[in-house]
Amino acid sequence: MPTITLKQPHGFWRSVRLGLVHIAEQDGRWQLPHLLFVLDIGAEKQSHKPLWRLPGGKRRPDETTEAALKREFLEETGMSIRRGRHLLLGDDLPHAERTRSLMAVNILVGGVRPEPTPGFATDEVAEVRWFAAGALPTGREPASLGHPIDHYNRQQVRDTLSYHWGELRGMPYAGVLRGLC
C-alpha cells in the first residue's frame, strides 16, 4: 500500500477508523457500493449490545497513522488492506479535530471484492461482513444480522464522502456513491 500522507503530525490522531467501500460494474452498470463492517462484541463487556461498526481502534504512541490503519484493519478483519482508487481522509471535518479520531474511506473500484476469511473472529469481533449500501442492518433482522449498524460510523463515512465530493463527482461511478452521502 502506498504511503498515506496526512496534514497532521502522526501523533495527532488518538484513534483511527477505516471505511472500506467496494464498487463493481456488471453488464455495463455500476452496482450498489458495499461497505465492510465488523460485528463488535467487545462492547458487551461495557454492557452495550453488540453492533456492526467500521474496523479501527486506538493508535499506539509510537505508530504512524498509516501503520495504525493497517494494524487495526488486519486485527479486526484478518485482511490486509491495499490502497483503492480513492483514499479519502476526514481529517478536516469538525468532529475529527474535536475527538482526535481520524476517519479514512478507502474506495476499491472494480475487480473482485476481497472476502474475509470464513469464520474469522477475535475476542472483540464475532464476524466480518460486506453489506450493500441499500441493505444495512437495522437491528430487526434475525441472527447476527439482528444487530444494528453504528450510526455514528455511518455518518462519518457520509461526511467524508460529502467533503470530498468535488473530486468524486466526475467519476463514472459517482451516481452510486452519491447514495452514501
Residue 1, pLDDT > 50, answer: no
Domain boundaries, the chain: 15-133+144-178
| 118-147 pLDDT per residue, tens | 888 898 898 899 988 877 776 666 555 667
* pLDDT-wise least confident of 23-32, 74-83, 84-93, 171-180: 84-93
Helix and strand tally (H, E) in the chain? 5, 9
- What band does 63 get if pLDDT is binned at 50, 70 and 90? confident
CA distance 77 to 113: 14
Interior/surface letters 108-138, b for 16+ CB within 10 angstroms, e for the rest: bbeeeeeeeeeeeeeebbbbbbbbebeeebe
What's the mean pLDDT in 37-44?
79
- What band does 95 get if pLDDT is binned at 50, 70 and 90? low
**Assigned fold of 15-133+144-178:** Nucleoside Triphosphate Pyrophosphohydrolase (3.90.79)
Quote the distance between the C-alpha of residue 16 and its chain's center: 10
- Please answer whether residues 150 and 98 qualify as being in contact, where contact means their C-beta atoms are separated by less than 8 angstroms: no
Averaged confidence pLDDT in the chain: 81
